[in-house]
Amino acid sequence: MPQGLAIGDLADRTGLAVSAIRFYETHGIVKPLRNKGGHRRYGRSDIRRLSFVMAAQALGFPLSEIAEHLHALPDHKAPTKADWTRISTQFRKDIDARIAALEELRDKLDGCIGCGCLSLKSCALYNPADIKGKDGKGPRNLTRLPA
Amino acid sequence: MPQGLAIGDLADRTGLAVSAIRFYETHGIVKPLRNKGGHRRYGRSDIRRLSFVMAAQALGFPLSEIAEHLHALPDHKAPTKADWTRISTQFRKDIDARIAALEELRDKLDGCIGCGCLSLKSCALYNPADIKGKDGKGPRNLTRLPA
DNA sequence: GTAATTTCTCAAGTTAACTTGAGATCAAGG
DNA sequence: CCTTGATCTCAAGTTAACTTGAGAAATTAC
């Protein structure tokens, strides 16, 4: 009766690559224990952790932020219902904000379709202030909508 | 009376870096003409082109797809109202799809908050099939929600 | 007409998020 | 017990989207 899941099992359960799971570990997203031989052993709750990561990534959140969210969960004990509820609630807020931003853009675009983008002054797409996205070096992560 | 905008002017107008605009050129997003001295000269419509790029990027679309959209516009002639309307309309569809995907995820998450993620079988976050995102080498661009 | 900007090209560096490969060890089935 | 498959570590490669730097030529400003 092996203690916990092997990394390959976790990969199968989540659909992630084994290499990705190890990579996430270097970013503090999962913190598996080790067995006698040095192999990683995961708890069942890690499946949910990684599923959460995948969902958040699909929304465009960077790993660093996801990791922060997850810091609210206990490392090796199974998280309580309250733990997950707290995180899920915050996540929901982020989703709502994102939906709101998209709807705003959509509404502006509606005006744009009407005008055919020919009246520059009033065109939403023309106004760069609406889409600020410079705040770091390297590739700007524009996947996150302006708050 | 200089013919067209210099790259620096375009940078000022759009808020993009000069280097970024040159980079976009290598990806076929803008195709400036050259003056006697070999300097790039842009048309006014390139402001809108680039603004469109920024908006689409904020939504998480990869440059390659944005470039494809823009191929529907004429290279050196000012686009007609019909040209832009076609693109804007398509863009709007993409936004709607994205909003729908987010709303679906939000609804699932609502159920998840209720259950505290403790009943694995029925938890939306637990079901990896909901979030498929493997289709290439290199970093998986998970910024795009599943269609 | 000269100094200060801008722009040009091209190569190389950067960040995020992983993957791939090499060489070695651990684990599990027959 | 032995072989096959899973893991381990660590370094290096990959993609997207840009930025930075170097050296040179074109523009603009005074």
**pLDDT (tens digit, 9 = 90+) per residue, A20-65?**
999 999 999 999 999 999 999 999 889 989 988 988 887 778 899 8
Mean predicted confidence (pLDDT) in B27-32: 96
pLDDT of residue A111: 66
pLDDT of residue B101: 77
Question: Would you call A120 and B91 a contact, using CB atoms and an 8 Å cutoff?
Answer: no
Residue of chain A with shortest Cα separation from B146: A58
Look-up of token digits 């390297």 = A138
Q: What is the pLDDT of residues A65-93, one digit of tens each?
A: 899 989 888 887 878 778 878 888 888 88
Q: Which residues does residue A40 pair with via DSSP β-bridges, in sequence order?
A: A34
Mean predicted confidence (pLDDT) in B33-49: 94
CB of B11 closer than 8 Å to CB of B17: yes
pLDDT of residue A19: 97
CA distances to A55, A57, B89 from A44, in Å: 18, 21, 45
Q: Which long-range contacts (CB under 8 A, 24 or more apart) does A25-31 make?
A: A27/A63, A27/A64, A27/A67, A28/A67, A28/A70, A28/A71, A29/A53, A29/A63, A29/A66, A29/A67, A29/A70, A31/A75, A31/A76
Q: What is the pLDDT of residues B116-143, one digit of tens each?
A: 554 444 555 555 444 333 333 333 333 3
Mean predicted confidence (pLDDT) in A130-137: 36
Q: How many helices (H) and strands (E) does chain B have?
A: 5, 2
User: What span, in angstroms and rounded, lies between the C-alpha atoms of A109 and A119?
Assistant: 13
pLDDT of residue A130: 43
CA–C1' gap, B47 and D25, in angstroms: 27
pLDDT of residue B10: 96
pLDDT of residue B124: 56
Residue of chain B with shortest Cα separation from A63: B142
| Percent of chain B clearing pLDDT 90 (strictly above) | 33
pLDDT bin (cut points 50, 70, 90) of residue B112 is low
Whether residue A16 has pLDDT greater than 70: yes
pLDDT of residue B19: 97
Handedness of CA B132, A143, B29, B80 (dihedral sign): positive
CA–C1' gap, A115 and C17, in angstroms: 40
pLDDT of residue A15: 92
pLDDT of residue A9: 96
Whether residue A145 has pLDDT greater than 50: no
Nucleotide of closest approach to B35 (CA, C1'): D26
pLDDT of residue B126: 54
Q: What kind and span of H or E run contains A34? A: strand A33-34
